[in-house]
A and B are shown apart, each in its own frame.
Chain A
Amino acid sequence: MNSHVKGLLGHGVRWLVILLSLLVICKALLGLGYSSLRIERVVETALNNMEVPVAPISMRTKMGQGYELLLIKDREHGMYHQLNVKHSFGFLWSYRGGSVGMPIDSEVLLSFQGGGATIGKYLHYYYVGQLNDPQISRLQIRWYDGFQQEAEIKDGLYQAARTVRITKDDELQSGDDKLFAYDENGQLLYELDRERREIRSDTDKSE
């Protein structure tokens, strides 16, 4: 009887240690809290870490290689954020950088912000911005290599992303990227590039 109780106790202690160990290992492997099973949780952690309020995901664009570009619009505080996340093994989301606290300026009719990163064998490019002209019905990005892509538009913001596999000696190049804004008749309204990144209603309208 006594030895039976001792045996059970031994099992209990061993399993407790195993569970505690699992907790430590899970925490260590999940990285700096930037990974989670839920994408919303990853966004929350990233925004909390940057000390900006949590806001809903407005747009999700697949970049390729498991990467997604998220656009978060914080209507209340008049700003938007762009986060890169990676989806691994079909269930784990991880935060992989981004820009936080871009202001939503009602004077800006159209803006063109973007960047790129080399990750492994791939080049990841993206563009985000705001549009504030009801005439704009379609945004098109013409990438440096001539590839044309429609940007996704929602709620006064847009984004587009692209992933290119690196061929020999490829480098990040985006000098010739251009944004074209068309009205519903296909008439070109605005054109932006790396030199000219925004059109404002208070200064640029008269042109």
Chain B
Amino acid sequence: MEWTLLIILGGLALYFLLMELTHFEPDARIKAARKEGAYFAVHAPKQTFYGKSFTVDGVIYKDGELHVYMTSKGIFSWPALPNTIQVITDRKEELNRSSSAGTSTLFRSRGRFTFQEVPEGLKSITVFQEAYGESFSFPISLVKGGQTNE
């Protein structure tokens, strides 16, 4: 009885967990951007927005583009990212979002929000969103060797 349960349920669970692993191959863009020094890692505590709990992992800033990588994790809750984000620069200009992409599995949800026509020479940005009184905000430094986005 015990062994039967173990094999059947354990096998099914293992199947779901393996699917989980194969979904998350490291993003080639991040690897390339790291080499060029265009990747800015962020180590910010997670914030909650409409029951979604997430953080910014890092951003790629180069060639007039900004990619914001975000992750949400949850074992007992459902991992979920904000539907849209907004970015305001240190010059108080708002960037226009152009696209987003993401993958979700049982325990982790990862997304990339891409902005185009981003001005050169930004020192910092703020990733935020606000709706009906709830909000989140992540300040991010784009200076190498400066503030480390802790």
Contact = CB atoms under 8 A, between A and B. Distances in A.
B20 to A, nearest CB: 9
Interface string B1-40: 0110110011011101100000000000000000000000
B128 interface: no
A52 B131 CA distance: 7
Given A14-B3, A27-B106, A32-B78, A48 B50 contact: yes
Interface residues of B, number: 27
Nearest to A27: B106
Contact of B6 (A14, A27, A45): A14
A154 interface: no
B131 A51 contact: yes
Interface residues of A, number: 25
A21 interface: yes
A48 B79 CA distance: 12
B9 A14 contact: no
Contacts, number: 66
Given A14-B2, A48-B52, A21 B10 contact: yes
A37 B104 CA distance: 23
Contacts of B131: 51-52
B50 A24 contact: no
With most chain B CB atoms within 10 A of its CB, the pick from A17, A25, A53 is: A25
B78 A33 contact: yes
A19 to B, nearest CB: 9
Nearest to B12: A25
A73 B91 CA distance: 40
A17 B6 contact: yes
State the 4 A-B residue pairs at the shortest beta-carbon distance, nearest first: A33-B78, A21-B13, A21-B9, A48-B51
Interface of B: 2-3, 5-6, 9-10, 12-14, 16-17, 49-52, 77-78, 80, 82-83, 104, 106, 129, 131-134
